[in-house]
Structure 1
Amino acid sequence: MSKIHDLTRRSALSLLAGGAATPLLPSLTLADKTDTLALFGPPAGPSVTLAHAVASGGFSALAANATFTAWRNPDELRAGLTSGSIGLSVVPVQAAANLYNRGFPIRLANIMTDGLLYIISEAPEIKSISDLKGRSIAVPFRGDTPEIIFGQLVSHAGLNAEEDLQITYAGSPIEAMQLLLAGKVEAALTAEPSTTAGILRGRKAGKKIARVINIQDAWGEMTDAAPVLPQAGLAVTGAFMETGSEMIPDILKVLRTATSEVLEDPGKAAEQATGALGLPAPLLAASVPHCNLVARNAVEARADIERMLKAMAGKDMARIGGKLPDNKFYT
């Protein structure tokens, strides 16, 4: 995997954090192929889709060579976006909206997960956010998407995060899961596949760790809507749009096919993604059913996106740059 450049404009930008190959696509001819189509994403569910699409030859009609590279944390994503080394990547929707409203040339092409956040614990009496009162919990990526979502749910439950909870901030969902396994906290906010990893590792250690709160369900209750949390999608930078905008519709077609194939055969997709994501194939396969993988065009998902952004935005919509993104944000 290629190394992503060091952060160059961190102070200026803020991120919140198998099947057959797809047939040749009609809108591009072989002469229109690009040399390399480079895609990026986190070590999480939507990236299984990207890795499968690459490994199965889904992009063969669009590029002579297609690659997938996993970024490990929001800092790596910041670095790649701002340096220009990342043109196509799975990005937290709130982060993309914030960047767009602050003038960074980025667009949202689709939604690839309708939410993959859970709270895991050995305490079966924890059934809702309010049940966390007085308990210790590990929360990853402070200031980024998972922590913001959790904070909104805590406030909605009538709790004060600083006074009513004992929060240990973790550097990643995996670290949050590890704190729970080590007995240092009573619960952990995790994202797939670290949620599944915590349950499986706990089982080996004789711990009955379970998903006690489905964050998507809690979000739906808070917003009085369907349990849909359009958490992340494929984002496209301005540099890519300048040279490859005509490829976007076909890329989205490939991803729709790949998503269906991943859901139909998680085992095969996991085998294809294990190397790129650096995670065991059995873990990825077990995680897929809990990732709520989708491939919805951003324009079609706009109502769900805006509902989420309004709830996440905070005072004066500061977390998304002061306003909802306009039409141009949606490719």
Structure 2
Amino acid sequence: MTYDRRRFLQFMTAGFGLSIAAGCGQSPTPISTEPSPGANGETPASSLASLGIGGSPILLTIPLAYLLENSKVPEAIADVEFFPTRNHEQMKALLTSGQGQISANPTILTAGLYRQQVPVQLLSVMIWGNLSLLAPEGAIASWEDLRGKTVLIPFKGGLPEMMFRFLATQAGLQPDQDLTIQSTQDFQSNAQLLLAGQGDAGVFSEPHASNVVTKAQEQNMAIAYSLDFKQSWGEATNQPPRYPQAGIAILSSVAENHPDVVDLVQTELQNSLTWIQENPTAAAELGAKYMDTPAAIIEQSFQANLFEYVAAAEAKPELEVYYQSLMQVNPKLMGGQLPDAGFYVGG
């Protein structure tokens, strides 16, 4: 197993909280079509010789770190490597080349790559919402309170802005007329402006939101969670109060030709969420190794993040509502079409 932490920390400064993640390891080399029988309770050898696992400094990296350090995956696959990417094009290149086999991505990004004929499928959804609107305590209690306000949102046209625009519109606001959206470069600049009082509110994902609240406390300021996008999503769509924000992408060649790997990864990813729930402090410490975020902040962020493992085929109805909702904001998203059944592993 290989983990290039120095390279990861160099790349992470250019990454973003809801950004892509992709693997970059050795090209997979099949050993056999059937796993070898294990002895003495050992995990059977996999039909895949190597596995590239990709991650960026987001909470979904923790389940991936669990695969690397706490799971049976390294017992079954001889060469397991973890590598970061810094932008969408780099991740796309890694997946297209076959160097990375699984990665943690926003589900909207994985769907977009699939629509672009990149040979990738969605294995599962694991993060069901961790976007929030932060504001000075007591300033914002409802969407209506945003009228006339300036809202800081990172990544112009990206997921944080699309979700904000959709939810604000469903709440009866016209975002371009009733308030001012100020685009920022990333969550760090978003935080700096909010803490400097240069915006009335800001949109953040976890663990960035928890970090902002903590930094505000250190400066004797009171920044609070004002609007939870999960709750707002449920009210706007008549769906459960959760949305399929991010999940695990897998190369189609692996999904189709290595069912033993798919089964093992699915099992261990489910195990990772049980472990995180039962061991939040240890999980935060593991995440800190890969995310360069203090463990205390990561552990705090679990409270506003919804982890749940749902296989892609099972999540399809909620994913399609999610995709259609975001396409109301950006009709050109995914080429204006939903992914077909082949996008969903097991579908």
| Aligned match of 2:125 | 111
- After superposition, the Cα gap between the structure-2 partners of 1:315 and 1:113, relative to the gap in structure 1 and judged at 3 Å, is closer
The answer to whether 1:88 aligns with 2:88 is no
**Which residue identity is paired with 1:277?**
M
Q: Per-residue deviation at 1:99?
A: 2.1
- After superposition, the Cα gap between the structure-2 partners of 1:75 and 1:243, relative to the gap in structure 1 and judged at 3 Å, is same
Alpha-carbon distance in 2 for matches of 1:65, 1:104: 24
The answer to whether 1:146 aligns with 2:146 is no
- SS where residue 61 of structure 1 aligns? helix
- After superposition, the Cα gap between the structure-2 partners of 1:210 and 1:77, relative to the gap in structure 1 and judged at 3 Å, is farther
1:189-228 aligned at under 5 Å gives the runs 189-228=203-242
- Give yes or no for contact 1:263–1:289 (8 Å, CA) kept in 2: no
Alpha-carbon distance in 1 for matches of 2:51, 2:19: 26
| Aligned match of 1:266 | 280
Residue-by-residue CA offset, 1:211-238 (whole Å, 9 max, x unaligned): 1000111111110111111101001134
Q: Per-residue deviation at 1:160?
A: 2.6
**Which residue identity is paired with 1:222?**
A
Q: Percent identity?
A: 28
| Aligned match of 1:162 | 176
- After superposition, the Cα gap between the structure-2 partners of 1:74 and 1:168, relative to the gap in structure 1 and judged at 3 Å, is farther
| Aligned match of 2:320 | 306
Residue-by-residue CA offset, 1:258-305 (whole Å, 9 max, x unaligned): 111011111101112212111111111111232101111111111111
Relative contact order, CA 8 A, sep 6+: which one is greater? 1
Within the candidate set 32, 56, 63, 2:46 is matched to 32
- SS where residue 118 of structure 1 aligns? strand
- Give yes or no for contact 1:199–1:209 (8 Å, CA) kept in 2: yes
Within the candidate set 20, 39, 59, 2:73 is matched to 59
Alpha-carbon distance in 1 for matches of 2:330, 2:63: 35
Alpha-carbon distance in 1 for matches of 2:87, 2:184: 12
Within the candidate set 257, 279, 283, 2:293 is matched to 279
- Give yes or no for contact 1:42–1:73 (8 Å, CA) kept in 2: no
**Which residue identity is paired with 1:236?**
I
- Give yes or no for contact 2:167–2:232 (8 Å, CA) kept in 1: yes
Provide TM-score, normalisation by structure 1.
Answer: 0.85
Q: Answer with 315-324 or 105-114: which moved more.
A: 315-324
**Which residue identity is paired with 1:259?**
L
Q: Per-residue deviation at 1:208?
A: 0.7
Alpha-carbon distance in 1 for matches of 2:223, 2:306: 21
Residue-by-residue CA offset, 1:67-92 (whole Å, 9 max, x unaligned): 33344554553454455443311111
Within the candidate set 101, 106, 111, 1:97 is matched to 111
| Aligned match of 2:340 | 326
The answer to whether 1:251 aligns with 2:265 is yes
**Which residue identity is paired with 1:202?**
A
Q: Per-residue deviation at 1:319?
A: 0.9
Q: Per-residue deviation at 1:125?
A: 3.4
Alpha-carbon distance in 2 for matches of 1:193, 1:316: 26
Within the candidate set 135, 138, 147, 1:121 is matched to 135
List structure 1 runs of 4+ shifted beyond 6 angstroms: none
Residue-by-residue CA offset, 1:23-59 (whole Å, 9 max, x unaligned): xxxx843443544322123312211121123221341
Gaps of 5+ in 1: 5-14, 18-26
Q: Per-residue deviation at 1:137?
A: 1.4
- Give yes or no for contact 1:33–1:64 (8 Å, CA) kept in 2: no
**Which residue identity is paired with 1:53?**
L
Figure out how many residues of one structure are paired with residues of the other and give that number: 312
- After superposition, the Cα gap between the structure-2 partners of 1:32 and 1:237, relative to the gap in structure 1 and judged at 3 Å, is closer
Gaps of 5+ in 2: 9-17, 21-33, 37-43
- After superposition, the Cα gap between the structure-2 partners of 1:118 and 1:268, relative to the gap in structure 1 and judged at 3 Å, is same
Alpha-carbon distance in 1 for matches of 2:219, 2:58: 24
Alpha-carbon distance in 2 for matches of 1:51, 1:134: 43
**Which residue identity is paired with 2:292?**
G
Alpha-carbon distance in 2 for matches of 1:83, 1:128: 47
Q: Per-residue deviation at 1:184?
A: 1.6
- After superposition, the Cα gap between the structure-2 partners of 1:123 and 1:76, relative to the gap in structure 1 and judged at 3 Å, is farther
Alpha-carbon distance in 2 for matches of 1:50, 1:327: 26
Alpha-carbon distance in 2 for matches of 1:271, 1:315: 38
- Give yes or no for contact 2:48–2:261 (8 Å, CA) kept in 1: no
| Aligned match of 2:303 | 289
Q: Answer with 234-243 or 249-258: which moved more.
A: 234-243
Please, what is the CA RMSD of the aligned residues?
A: 2.5
